[in-house]
């Protein structure tokens, strides 16, 4: 048997370090067994999936050196590798389950589903809805069918008993069937859900081992049942521990930058990031901290993964990155790293129009544009001393901007201007007044190039990181305060 693993990201946002971490372990597992590693794009959520996000995911995994043998960009014998291009395959498989009686059409409206759940809740029962709960009386079912009501296709699930699923790290996992609902497989718009598409694709793509995050454990019983319904053997499952913030909470962008773009933009070296991700719950047999991808592949053993939640610690990663710079990069390599990072024509070229009208000598350039070649600027509370706004308003303004920017799909000056205008109106401030603290937070001083252009050039991750940094410097936003702000923000 040829071992085949995969990473199956959904392109719905920034390329997440968690995706890179899972990709790394799948890649190492495949290589250790002389197998293949596949990249599949799970873009069945058409509302949230974007081409930009897909491209960023491919770019960042490649930047980290996590190359795949088959995927949407390189092709392969099991394509297409993008789920949005495999609609017919899922429809055909859903039809098969309908025919074999393992799935059924459900015409329930969302109001009816709410009522069903409320009734179960009031009776102190599990909220999982079973086929018998969902069944309509036969005449009504027929009426809705004839009248062409919208419907979903759901899978049949047992009502009682215990489902046992084997996990490569956790051994036997037991889940009560009572907790498992009659999962939707096809939505009313004809798109498959994750569960159907994922199982069908893993089978058709010959995946033998599924290494994925532990948040998917609850899906395992449904997947196992689907494999049974289709008469296929199931890949071996391995649920990896989730990455955590230093306070042990689930890694979240509130507490740690989670986008690989951020690390790239900050000037981390890909080999250091990959090495650090390899230390997440895993260690080399000799416990050394610094190792290359080749070494990790050569010594890989999934059983060395420990399940205690691995902590993604920015300070440790920064330390390791420094070790790489000092130990591995000679002058030529360091120069190349700097050029790849920011001292290149493409990047500097964007900054030139910003500085040309504002300098008299070439030596004016760096003081003016230095922040484009920096990480977080050295701003302090006093940097905002001249800003004539209450602290409360200042924090709200910066926090609202961070939230707005998180949702921006197209990162360009026009879009940024539109966001800023909207918020300035909300705060009833003139644009100039609104932008003053943003200027300090983003460029680090009160004198630099245009802040909207700077944000466009710095990109989403660096801009947001600088705004968040300013919020911290100004005393931060407590949990309680954030809740209050969120409420106001929602009313925007
Ligand atoms: N599309 C899922 C994700 O975004 C894949 C989960 C899996 O590996 O089964 O993580």
pLDDT digits (tens, 9 = 90+) for 16-42: 999 999 999 999 999 999 999 999 999
* Dihedral pair phi/psi, residue 81, rounded to 5°: -100, 15
Looking at residue 482, its pLDDT comes to 86
Q: Quick check: 159 pLDDT over 80? A: yes
Q: Are 294 and 271 a contacting pair, CB within 8 Å?
A: no
Q: Are 205 and 234 a contacting pair, CB within 8 Å?
A: no
Instruction: Supply the residue whose CA is at minimum distance from atom 5 of ligand 1.
Output: 8
Is the distance from the beta carbon of residue 211 to the nearest atom of ligand 1 less than 6 Å? no
Both tokens assigned to 72 = 């949407």
Residue 199 exposure: Cα atoms within 13 Å on the Cβ side: 25
Is the distance from the beta carbon of residue 202 to the nearest atom of ligand 1 less than 6 Å? no
* Rounded percentage of the chain residues whose pLDDT exceeds 90: 86
Tell which atom from ligand 1 comes closest to the C-alpha of 210. Answer: 8
Residues with a catalytic annotation lie at: 253
Looking at residue 325, its pLDDT comes to 98
By three-state DSSP, how is residue 236 classified? strand
Instruction: Supply the residue whose CA is at minimum distance from atom 3 of ligand 1.
Output: 9
Test site for ligand 1: of 45, 72, 194, 251, most ligand atoms within 8 A of the Cβ: 194
Q: Quick check: 74 pLDDT over 90? A: yes
Is the distance from the beta carbon of residue 43 to the nearest atom of ligand 1 less than 6 Å? no
Looking at residue 127, its pLDDT comes to 81
By three-state DSSP, how is residue 152 classified? strand
Looking at residue 254, its pLDDT comes to 73
Query: What's the average model confidence in pLDDT over 337-355?
Result: 97
Tell which atom from ligand 1 comes closest to the C-alpha of 194. Answer: 1
Summarised one tens digit per residue, pLDDT across range 106-150 is 999 999 999 999 998 898 888 889 999 999 999 999 999 999 999
Is the distance from the beta carbon of residue 42 to the nearest atom of ligand 1 less than 6 Å? yes
Q: In which band, very low, low, confident or very high, does the pLDDT at 361 lie, cut at 50, 70 and 90?
A: very high
Query: What's the average model confidence in pLDDT over 402-428?
Result: 92
Q: b vs e for 466-490, b when ≥16 Cβ sit within 10 Å of the residue's Cβ?
A: bbbbbbebbeebeeeeeeebeeebe
Both tokens assigned to 314 = 């920015």
Is the distance from the beta carbon of residue 195 to the nearest atom of ligand 1 less than 6 Å? no
CA distance 102 to 131: 11
What's the gap in Å between 212 CA and the centre of ligand 1? 7
CA distance 20 to 259: 10
Q: Quick check: 492 pLDDT over 90? A: no
CA distance 317 to 300: 21
Is the distance from the beta carbon of residue 205 to the nearest atom of ligand 1 less than 6 Å? no
What's the gap in Å between 9 CA and the centre of ligand 1? 6
Query: What's the average model confidence in pLDDT over 403-421?
Result: 91
Residue 45: CB partners within 8 Å, gap ≥ 6? 10, 12
Tell which atom from ligand 1 comes closest to the C-alpha of 7. Answer: 8
DSSP 77: T
Q: Report how many helices (DSSP H) and strands (DSSP E) the chain contains, helices first.
A: 20, 9
CA distance 47 to 401: 23
Q: H-helix or E-strand containing 185?
A: strand 184-186
pLDDT averaged over every residue in the chain: 94
Query: What's the average model confidence in pLDDT over 150-154?
Result: 97
Q: Are 474 and 394 a contacting pair, CB within 8 Å?
A: yes
Summarised one tens digit per residue, pLDDT across range 44-70 is 998 999 999 999 999 999 999 999 999
Kindly tell me the sign of the dihedral angle through the C-alpha atoms of 106, 110, 114, 115: negative
What's the gap in Å between 8 CA and the centre of ligand 1? 5
Query: What's the average model confidence in pLDDT over 276-293?
Result: 95
What's the gap in Å between 56 CA and the centre of ligand 1? 17
* Rounded percentage of the chain residues whose pLDDT exceeds 70: 100
Tell which atom from ligand 1 comes closest to the C-alpha of 19. Answer: 10
Is the distance from the beta carbon of residue 10 to the nearest atom of ligand 1 less than 6 Å? yes
Q: Quick check: 255 pLDDT over 80? A: no
Q: CA 447, 448, 450: angle at the middle one, nearest 5?
A: 120
Long-range residue pairs from 364-369, CB within 8 A, at least 24 positions apart, any chain: 368/447, 368/448, 368/449, 369/448, 369/449
Test site for ligand 1: of 42, 48, 207, 214, most ligand atoms within 8 A of the Cβ: 42
CA distance 474 to 383: 10
Is the distance from the beta carbon of residue 36 to the nearest atom of ligand 1 less than 6 Å? no
Looking at residue 456, its pLDDT comes to 97
Looking at residue 360, its pLDDT comes to 97
- The answer to which of 153-162, 215-224, 284-293, 402-411 has the lowest mean pLDDT is 402-411
Is the distance from the beta carbon of residue 201 to the nearest atom of ligand 1 less than 6 Å? no
Query: What's the average model confidence in pLDDT over 218-223?
Result: 96
What's the gap in Å between 161 CA and the centre of ligand 1? 27
Q: Which of the listed ranges 253-262, 310-319, 471-480 does the model predict with the highest average pLDDT?
A: 310-319
pTM (2 d.p.): 0.93
Other CB atoms within 10 Å distance of the CB of residue 170: 15
CA distance 147 to 139: 12
Judged on CB neighbours under 10 Å (0-12, 13-18, 19+), 28 is buried
Looking at residue 44, its pLDDT comes to 93
Test site for ligand 1: of 9, 13, 239, most ligand atoms within 8 A of the Cβ: 9
Residue 484: CB partners within 8 Å, gap ≥ 6? none
What's the gap in Å between 321 CA and the centre of ligand 1? 29
Q: Do strands 209-213 and 36-39 pair parallel, antiparallel, or not at all (unpaired)?
A: unpaired
Q: In which band, very low, low, confident or very high, does the pLDDT at 480 lie, cut at 50, 70 and 90?
A: confident
Instruction: Supply the residue whose CA is at minimum distance from atom 10 of ligand 1.
Output: 9
């Amino acid at each position: 048997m040829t071992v085949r693993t995969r990473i199956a990201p959904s392109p719905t946002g920034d390329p997440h370090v968690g995706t890179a971490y899972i990709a790394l372990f799948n890649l190492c597992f495949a290589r250790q067994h002389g197998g293949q590693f596949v990249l599949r794009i799970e873009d069945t959520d058409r509302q949230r999936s974007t081409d930009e996000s897909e491209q960023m995911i491919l770019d960042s995994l490649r930047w980290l050196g996590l190359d795949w043998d088959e995927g949407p960009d390189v092709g392969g014998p099991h394509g297409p590798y993008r789920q949005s291009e495999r609609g017919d395959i899922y429809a055909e498989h859903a039809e098969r389950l309908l025919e074999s009686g393992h799935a059924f059409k459900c015409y329930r409206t969302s109001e009816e589903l709410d009522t069903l759940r409320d009734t179960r809740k009031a009776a102190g029962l599990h909220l999982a809805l079973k086929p018998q709960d969902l069944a309509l009386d036969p005449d009504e079912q027929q009426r809705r069918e004839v009248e062409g009501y919208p419907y979903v296709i759901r899978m049949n699930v047992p009502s009682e008993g215990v489902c046992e699923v084997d996990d490569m790290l956790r051994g036997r996992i037991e889940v009560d069937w009572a907790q498992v609902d009659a999962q939707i497989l096809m939505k009313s718009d004809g798109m498959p859900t994750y569960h159907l598409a994922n199982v069908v694709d893993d089978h058709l793509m010959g995946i033998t081992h599924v290494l994925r995050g532990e948040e998917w454990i609850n899906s395992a019983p449904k997947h196992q049942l689907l494999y049974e319904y289709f008469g296929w053997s199931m890949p071996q499952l391995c649920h990896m521990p989730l990455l955590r913030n230093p306070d042990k909470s689930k890694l979240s962008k509130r507490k740690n930058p989670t986008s690989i773009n951020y690390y790239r933009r900050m000037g981390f070296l890909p080999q250091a990031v990959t090495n650090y991700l390899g230390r997440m719950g895993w260690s080399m047999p000799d416990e050394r901290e610094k190792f290359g991808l080749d070494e990790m592949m050569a010594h890989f053993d999934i059983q060395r993964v420990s399940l205690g939640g691995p902590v993604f610690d920015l300070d440790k990663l920064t330390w390791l990155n420094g070790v790489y710079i000092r130990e591995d990069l000679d002058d030529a390599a360091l120069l190349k790293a700097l050029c790849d990072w920011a001292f290149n024509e493409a990047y500097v070229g964007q900054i030139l129009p910003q500085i040309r009208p504002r300098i008299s000598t070439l030596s004016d350039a760096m003081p003016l544009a230095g922040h484009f070649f920096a990480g977080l600027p050295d701003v302090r509370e006093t940097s905002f001393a001249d800003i004539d706004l209450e602290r409360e308003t200042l924090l709200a303004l910066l926090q609202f901007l961070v939230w707005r920017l998180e949702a921006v799909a197209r990162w360009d000056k026009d879009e940024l201007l539109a966001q800023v205008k909207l918020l300035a109106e909300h705060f009833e401030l003139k644009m100039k007044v609104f932008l003053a603290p943003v200027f300090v937070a983003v460029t680090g001083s009160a004198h630099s190039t245009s802040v909207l252009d700077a944000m466009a050039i710095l990109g989403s991750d660096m801009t947001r990181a600088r705004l968040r940094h300013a919020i911290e410097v100004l005393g931060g936003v407590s949990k309680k305060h954030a809740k209050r702000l969120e409420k106001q923000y929602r009313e925007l």
